């Protein structure tokens, strides 16, 4: 993902999360691109951006706060955090999200990380279970801002 794609990414985010109060601003996306440019991806089609994945190495158990820029990535990262993966409704069911997730998980394996983590919004939990993630415990305040029913999830990565 390049900084020039952020406007299109924001449009996909707004469509994918319509009616859900979890939208993050351009500054957040630019922050993550600056910190980890090789781990933020977009999927493109003939009409533009179909979906995106923002991910990066992160410590286990305490996901980053929603829409809060980071000064740096932590040196003690032991997991691959999928910060946000969204697909435009027009591209739903075409395998865009699965392809983005696969790309991120492959990158995590190559980086030598043993697991991937994420915070699932309540409506997406079944999707993430199909992707091999399972709910695990996290400090309740770590999920503040993600909405009712959000859960911390983990997937072990085979070598």
Cα(first)–Cα(last) distance of the chain, in Å?
A: 26
- Segments of the chain scoring below 50 in pLDDT: none
The token pair that represents 16 in the structure block: 């994918």
> What pLDDT score was predicted for residue 67?
86
- pTM of the predicted protein model: 0.93
> What pLDDT score was predicted for residue 109?
95
Q: How far apart are CA 121 and CA 119, in angstroms?
A: 7
Q: How far apart are CA 24 and CA 119, in angstroms?
A: 14
Q: What three-state secondary structure class fits 100?
A: helix
Q: Are 66 and 84 a contacting pair, CB within 8 Å? A: no
DSSP strand pairing (48-58 vs 115-120): unpaired
> What pLDDT score was predicted for residue 83?
95
Buried/exposed 130-146: b ≥16 CB within 10 Å, e otherwise: ebebeeeebeeebbeeb
> What pLDDT score was predicted for residue 135?
95
Question: What does the DSSP assignment read for 25-60?
Answer: -HHHHHHHHHH-GGGEEEEEETTEEEEEEEEEEE-S
Q: How far apart are CA 113 and CA 105, in angstroms?
A: 9
Domain residue limits, the chain: 3-156
Which CATH homologous superfamily contains domain 3-156? Gcn5-related N-acetyltransferase (GNAT) (3.40.630.30)
């Amino acid at each position: 993902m390049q900084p020039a794609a952020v406007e299109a990414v924001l449009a996909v985010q707004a469509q994918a999360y319509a009616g859900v109060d979890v939208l993050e601003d351009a500054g957040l996306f630019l922050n993550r691109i600056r910190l980890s440019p090789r781990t933020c991806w977009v999927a493109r089609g003939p009409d533009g951006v179909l979906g995106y994945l923002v991910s990066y190495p992160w410590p286990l158990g305490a996901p980053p706060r929603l829409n809060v820029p980071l000064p740096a990535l932590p040196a003690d990262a032991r997991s691959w955090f999928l910060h946000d993966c969204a697909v435009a409704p027009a591209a739903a069911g075409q395998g865009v999200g699965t392809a983005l997730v696969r790309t991120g998980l492959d990158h995590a394996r190559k980086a030598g990380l043993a697991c991937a983590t994420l915070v699932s919004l309540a409506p997406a939990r079944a999707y993430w279970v199909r992707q091999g993630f399972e709910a695990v415990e996290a400090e309740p305040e770590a999920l503040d801002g993600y909405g009712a029913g959000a859960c911390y999830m983990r997937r072990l990565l085979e070598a």
